Structure 1
Amino acid sequence: MPWFLYLLECADGSVYTGIAVDVDARFAQHASGTGARYTRSRKPLRVLAQFELSDRASASRAEYWVKRLTPRGKRALAAGERTLESVLPAPADTAPAEDVAAE
């Protein structure tokens, strides 16, 4: 089942980052005041962007890195000026290291 990373624009100009299976349902929770504590005091206005990820673990990792961005960086991501891949750390090289013989 895919998970989504989403960005919400809030009434105070901030950008909230979260993950969910159903972004529309989660936005409705935020808008009704039953979502995250952060959005209870900063009314969410709209979904700026959403990105599909393969599973919850991938979505949680992406959320961690996106939350480290400045509001400007989050808006650039939402506008397509940055890709989600550009925010995430490069995957570790999975090729096995060559054995080096001691001389």
Structure 2
Amino acid sequence: MYYVRSVPFVYYTYILRCKDGTLYTGYTNRLKHRLKLHREGKGAKYTRGRGPLKLEYVEGHLTKSDALKREYEIKQLSKKEKLGLVQQLCVLPFLNE
């Protein structure tokens, strides 16, 4: 018999859609706080002035290293491939409030 230990994710890799249709990929350990900063224009320089922003995709990771590696991998994808990821996952509505 196998037991799986329940461990909450500590780091997140995410994709935001900007109002101009572009996609921004980032990572954080405080997802709701990071989204708030992006929406207030205090997040990444790229997202400033591109709001409103919509969270389109999130992955949870146990380590910062894993989240950073995945962020890099996603950034290497084409927009079409990123949109494919977005279609695979439904983001919880409360994160887009």
TM-score, normalising length: structure 1:
0.73
- Equivalent residue for 2:66? 58
Instruction: Using the TM superposition, give the Cα deviation of residue 41 of structure 1 relative to its aligned residue in structure 2, in angstroms.
Output: 3.2
Q: Which structure is richer in relative contact order (CA contacts within 8 A, separation 6 or more)? A: 2
Q: What stretches of structure 1 of length at least 5 have no aligned partner? A: 82-103
Cα gap change, 1:36/1:69 in structure 2, threshold over 3 Å: closer, same or farther? same
Same amino acid, percent of matched pairs: 32
Larger Rg computed on CA atoms: 1
Contact 1:3 1:53 in 2 (8 A): yes
Pairwise CA RMSD: 1.5
1:1-103 matches, cutoff 5 A: 2-80=10-88
After superposing on structure 2, the runs of 4+ consecutive aligned residues of structure 1 that deviate more than 6 Å are none
Unaligned runs of 5+ in 2: 1-8, 90-97
User: In structure 1, what residue type is equivalent to 2:57?
Assistant: A
* Count of matched residue positions in the alignment of Structure 1 and Structure 2: 81
